[in-house]
Each structure stands twice: as structure tokens, then as C-alpha cells.
Amino acid sequence: MKKMRNIAIIAHVDHGKTTLVDQLLKQSGTFRQNQQLAERIMDSLDLEREKGITIKAKNASFQYKDYKINIVDTPGHADFGSEVERSLGMVDGVLLLVDSVEGPQAQTKFVLKKAIARDLTPLVLINKIDRTNAQPIQVLDQIFELFLELEASDKQLDFPVLYVSAKEGIALKEWKKEITDEDKRNGFSLLFEAIVTHIPAPTVDPEPAFKLLVANLDYSDYLGRIAIGKIFSGKIKVGSPLFCHQKSAQIVRGNVTAILGFKGLERVELDEASAGDIVGIAGLEEVYIGDTLSDSETIVPLPRIEIDPPTVRMRIAVNDSPLAGREGKFLTARHIYGRLLKEARTNVGLSVQETDIPGTFEVCGRGMMQIAVLVEQMRREGFELMVSRPEVIYKEDPSGIIYEPFEILSVDIPQENLGAVMEMLSKRAGNIRLMRNSQNRVFIECLIPTRGLIGFESEFINLTRAEGYCSHLFYEYGPKQGEVEIRESGVLVSMERGVATTYALENLQQRGVLFIGPGEEVYEGMVVGENKRPGDLLVNPCKAKHLTNIRSQGEGKAIGLEPPRRFRLEEAIEFIAGDELVEVTPTKIRIRKKILDAHERKKASLKVGS
């Protein structure tokens, strides 16, 4: 056990965690020299590779000299914070990775706060030192201030620091602008030594009974459900009796059918495992994250994993549009509800509830992206469904005061965009707390309602022409603010069912931005474009040109249609208003009104108004 280290790699999104893991595995000799490897080896999901972010926490290990080092690669996006929280329960130290240009961001503060609360030993890595505008000395000062702000202990404040380039696989004790050939030859040798020197060996309970806290779940077609976690005490062998102590105090019995250890990225079967190791155990079907596994019925279970509550909810419903059922394999409420429950079992940051409306389910999570990623996974699996606009989860105290979630928003923008960004924050009820100028850029920190962040990132990227950075983190619940302006324009709504024609769309594009092209099927109540003016407008995208035997003026003139605006799933969810839904199928993303019939829609709006 003294030759074992359990570490988690934590950082803000896009600060280089997964690239660092790649280099740790390569330089430790985990792979053959001639082995072909993709970039970001740990990002195994298609969505992770496409988006360039880590969504699920993953385990791996490598050997350095006679030390076995278990590593956990964690997500950096705030919406997947529950993955970080449960991963920290398996480790004894953390590698805190910070970008040498951007410095500590919102998620850096969140993950470091959780690590300090667990009294984990930090090793600070200032990454991307090879960038031309790197400022690692200033960033180190910011990191120290962050440790002070989070009330770190004296031992934690005395953290070791290395200056690294995860992309190049270099670690230095002192920062220098010019990287030599000798530095490149040394690679990560200083980092490996720092891990075994500064990160402590696993702390275990001396009692003989076997105890493992389930921090993650996986599934194998051959072994069934696999519970992954750190062994806190005792030993376990294949074939031993196994008892699962659940939240309801119920005890589920079984036998250990397999013990899986980690060797590089692969899982290897073990005959036995002992305290301090991170393993996967098969043999139980009814096991959940936070349960304690033991070889005895009479033990006291380990404290359950506690995570921050969800702040956003969305409704997922059966697709009932006129074009439903043409592409998907899984269409019914039973299919959708079963898939949502399956996700909730392995993702403790999500909760699923049935609603009063048949075929409609409420999903609560930490942020819109967390739920949108789930919907994207479902559509790729062959599901058809509808998704509502995100809503924040309000709380009400006994005196009747309504509270809503607030977040700390940090933006770093070019000076020229300051006026436009300030106007946008004002419309979204943002309250500026800090503003700082530096080298033609402005850093702003503000307190903003979570509902003011719905659709913020897309608008922010367009406004700053992708030259701005933004990050946000849940802060607290506070008294509800006034109305927040999100979408000022209306939409173009089809009044007919049929196929869109070039002739009709040419006339409609003068009214706004189109979401469809010629030849696409539309139906009544489907949103086909964004209106230039406030309010919705009923249009007919299927209108055909009437032919006569007399040649009209301009006959044969070329029709010029602008390319339609195509939404990604997250963009469509951010765009829709409260009376609209996103229809999601394996190949199409459409926006529609909740009530398709125009007369019924008008009646419903009059009832709400009265």
C-alpha cells in the first residue's frame, strides 16, 4: 500500500486535463512505442471527442518504477460537477491544472473547494507554458489568493508547483521562456517524482471487514453491473459473499463474480484486492452510487456521497408531431422513461420524475448542458422525443418568499465589446461585482440569476466574435428577481402541412431568418424561421407559384435563397420560448409550438392573459 498513489486531475474546462493524462500514460511506458494512439485517449465517448470536453469521469493507472499510480480524469464543465464530487472520494491527492493564460476560472474554484473540504493534498500544475502570451508567475499569485479565499490549511497552502506543457510532455521546476532539448528529454520525470513524493499513500481503516464505497457504475454484457470505488478496509476475493448496504437501509446479498483492476486504460481481472486500491466489483445487479459494499451484514456503512442539488429542470415527452415515428426505433413513453431511469442510476447529478401529463417526464440536473448531452445520446441511440425550454428550480420559504438560484459569471472580453456585453448582462439581470482592465481586455465578474444564463453562451460568442471567454458557477439561492429578457424577436410559424417551396421561401426570407430549405417537409405549428420583429407570424412555406399561359415580367429570373440557419441541439433548446418545444429524432432537430393548431393556440393565450 505504501507503493500506491490515488490521484484525481481537476481543472476548469479546456485547461488540458485529458491531454495531461495522455502524456502520463505514454511516458510511463503504458503503451508500446509503435502503438497507434488517438489524441485525448481518455475521451472515449463520441460526444466527448466532438465537443472537446470530458463528460464522464474515467479511471486508469500506470506504473512508475515500483509505484502503482491510479488516476481519475474528471470533467471540467460546471454542469458535470457531480462526476467530480464523487470521484474525489476515491483519491488521496489532486493535480490542480491551471491554464497559464486564463488563470483560475469558475470551475477551478469549485473543484478546489471540494478538494480542500476533503483535506486532499494538492499538487499545482501551471499548464500551457509554451504559449506566447503565457503569464505563469501572475497565475501562480492568483492560485495562492484562491487557496487563501477558500481557507486552505497551512499544509495545503504549502503546495508544490510545476510548470508544464501537457501537449509537449514537459515539466519544469522553474519557468523559463525558452525550452531546451534537455527539458524535452527529461519530459515528465519531475512530475512523476513529485507525485510519489508529495501525494500520500492511501489512508485506510484498520478494521478487518471489507468496505468499498461505490463512486461509479458500469455495465458489461458478460459480467452485468460493475460497481467501481476505493476499498477503504479489508480484502476481497472472487467467490466471497457480498452485501450491498443501500440508502433505504436494505441489504442486498450476492457473491463476487469478478474483481477488475486498472492497468493503463484496460481492465484486468484480479483474484483479490485489498485496502487502498480502486477496483470494479461484479456480482450485484441492485447497486447504486453511494452504496457500501462489504463482506459482512453487520458493518456500519460508509458515509454516502453528498452532492450539490440540481438547479435546472426540463421536460422530456413522447414525440406527437405529424412526422413522428418515421426515423426512430424507440418511440413510446415506456422506452423513454426506462432510458431516463437507467441514466439516473449512473448519474447522481440527475433526477427523473413522472408528471401529471401522460408521456411527459421531468428531468432535473445541474445545468442545461448536462440534460442536453443526455438527449443527444438518446437521439443517437434511436429515440424520438420532445424537449421543453429549461426552467430553474425555485424554492419557497414558509413566509411565501420565492428564491431562485444565482451563479457567479466571469467574462473576459476585448475592450471594444464592453458596451454590448454590459447591455446584454443588464437585460439578463446581472449585477456587476468586479471589473478589471488589462492589455486591451476587460475582466468582469457578476452575480446573475441562473435563468439569465439560458441562451447566454451562444449570444456571447456571436457578440464577441468568439474572442471572449466566459464561465459560470452556482453561488446560492436568493430572492427572485424581476423579468429577464431572453428572446426579443418572434418566430415564423407554418400554417400548412406539406413540402416547402423555393418560391414561398424567397418571399419569407424578407421577413426574417429561415430555419428550413426548399424540399423539406413542414407541418402546421412548426417553426420555420425567426421573425425580424417581436411577435409570431403565421406563414405558408408551401405556397407554389401559379402558372399561366402568359409570360410575366421577370420570368426566368434566378431565385437567390440564403442558407438556412441550422441549430445544434443545445442552440435549439436555448432558442425556444416557453410555448415551444424541440422535436428531436435521430436525424432531425425541429422547433415547433406546443399547441400546433393556430386557433387553439390563440384560445390558450387568451386564457393565460385573463
Per-residue pLDDT of 575-598, as tens digits, reads 888 888 999 999 899 999 988 888
Give the integer Cα–Cα distance in Å for 493 and 591.
10
Q: State the average pLDDT over residues 186-191.
A: 83
Asked if residue 17 belongs to a known ligand binding site, the reply is yes
Tell me how far apart the alpha carbons of residues 226 and 282 are, in angstroms, rounded to a whole number: 5
Instruction: Write down the pLDDT at residue 76.
Output: 60
pLDDT recorded at residue 34: 44
CATH of 211-294, one of 2.60.40.1180, 2.60.15.10, 3.50.50.60, 2.40.30.10: 2.40.30.10
Pick from 32, 31, 34, 65: nearest CA to 42: 31
Of the chain, the percentage scoring pLDDT greater than 70 comes to 90
More confident residue, 265 or 516: 516
Of these ranges, 68-77, 177-186, 339-348, the one predicted with the greatest mean pLDDT is: 339-348
205 annotated ligand binder: no
Query: Is 15 assigned to a binding site?
Result: yes
Question: Is 311 part of any known ligand binding site?
Answer: no
| CA 201/CA 183 separation, integer angstroms | 29
Q: What is the pLDDT of residue 30?
A: 64
Q: What is the CATH number of domain 396-479?
A: 3.30.70.240
Domain boundaries, the chain: 4-198, 211-294, 396-479
Determine the average pLDDT of the residues in 222-251: 84
- Residue 362 is predicted with a pLDDT of 92
Confidence (pLDDT) at 47: 56
Residue 470, beta-bridge partner list? 411
Say what the pLDDT of residue 387 is. 92
CB atoms closer than 10 angstroms to residue 579 = 15
Residue 312 has pLDDT above 60, yes or no: yes
**Average pLDDT of the segment spanning 319-346:** 87
Question: Looking at the domain that runs over 4-198, which CATH code has it been given?
Answer: 3.40.50.300
pLDDT tens-digit series, residues 291-302: 888 888 888 888
* Structural contact between residues 187 and 171, judged by C-beta atoms closer than 8 angstroms: yes
pLDDT of 358 strictly over 50: yes
SS (H, E, C) 61-120: EEEECCEEEEEEECCCCHHHHHHHHHHHHHCCEEEEEEECCCCCCHHHHHHHHHHHHCCC
Is the pLDDT at 354 greater than 80, yes or no? yes
How many other β-carbons are positioned within 10 Å of the β-carbon of residue 270?
17
Task: Indicate whether 549 pLDDT > 60.
Answer: no
Cα separation of 433 and 412, whole Å? 14
User: 21 — phi, psi (to 5°)?
Assistant: -60, -40
Per-residue pLDDT, 77 = 63
Share of the chain above pLDDT 90, in %: 5
Higher pLDDT: 521 or 186? It is 521
The answer to whether 18 is a known ligand-binding residue is yes
Say if residue 349 carries a ligand binding annotation.
no
Burial state string for 116-140 with b = 16 or more CB within 10 A and e = fewer than 16: beeebbbbbbbbbbeeeebbbeebb
pLDDT(257) > 60: yes
pLDDT band for 36, please (50, 70, 90 cuts): very low
41 is in an annotated binding site: no
Report the C-alpha gap between 298 and 378 in whole angstroms.
Answer: 41
Q: For 361-400, what is each residue's pLDDT tens digit?
A: 999 887 788 888 888 889 888 999 999 988 888 888 888 8
Arithmetic mean of pLDDT, 471-491: 80
Residue 20 CA: distances (Å) to CA of 17, 124, 168, 458, 602: 5, 13, 9, 29, 56
Closest to 491 (Cα-Cα) out of 467, 471, 511: 511
Residue 271 assigned as binding residue: no
